[in-house]
Amino acid sequence: MSQNDSKSVPCLCSETVFRSVFDAHFKLLRNFLAYKFKDIDRAEDVAQNAFVILWENCGMLQPEQAKSFLFTTAIRLSLNHIKHDKVVLNFEQQSKPKATHEESPEFLLVEAELKKELEKAINELPEKQRTVFLMNRFENHTYAEIATLLDLSVKAVEKRMHLALLSLRKVVKNV
């Protein structure tokens, strides 16, 4: 064993180290999320998902970085949930006024199918593309604002938006 290997002995991927990180931070993280977002069930789910993501990235992190990583990940996951809720609410609100117009049943059926397909397609976008798409199209942020908020370059935001739109256009063509 070399000196470099002996320095990395307390590895986050070790079950005992990970368990100690979990025991030390889970309740604190869950309570923080419950306080911040006022939903204990979602706080529990998001906290668990943050630990799953921590486990998936354990090889890249030191145990002392775990708490910061967990809180950052959990906040981003929570914000994604909130954004998704806004999208669902917007779709519900947009569909109600249209239903009051006298449109043919065939049109209403096609519209409902397209709406379902688009919602499904948006939900199936990779998380990074979905986040950029929702921020741009539903929250009206510019690419520069999104880049600042997500700590990315404008080119990265443009690329993610381009890929998201390509995926969504495929869905629209198939309907």
pTM: 0.47
| pLDDT tens readout for residues 85-118 | 888 888 887 776 554 556 788 888 888 888 888 8
Band of pLDDT at residue 120, cut at 50, 70 and 90:
confident
Reading the block at residue 171, the tokens are 């869905």
Q: CA separation (Å) from 51 to 100, 138, 150?
A: 46, 29, 21
The helix/strand/coil state of 7 is helix
pLDDT number for residue 90 = 85
Q: Which of 26, 137, 25 is closest to 86 using CA atoms?
A: 137
pLDDT digits (tens, 9 = 90+) for 39-80: 888 889 999 999 999 999 888 888 888 899 999 999 898 888
Q: Give the count of beta carbons closer than 10 Å to the beta carbon of residue 169.
A: 11
76: nearest Cα among 124, 122, 37 = 37
State the Cα–Cα distance between residues 3 and 43, nearest whole angstrom. 41
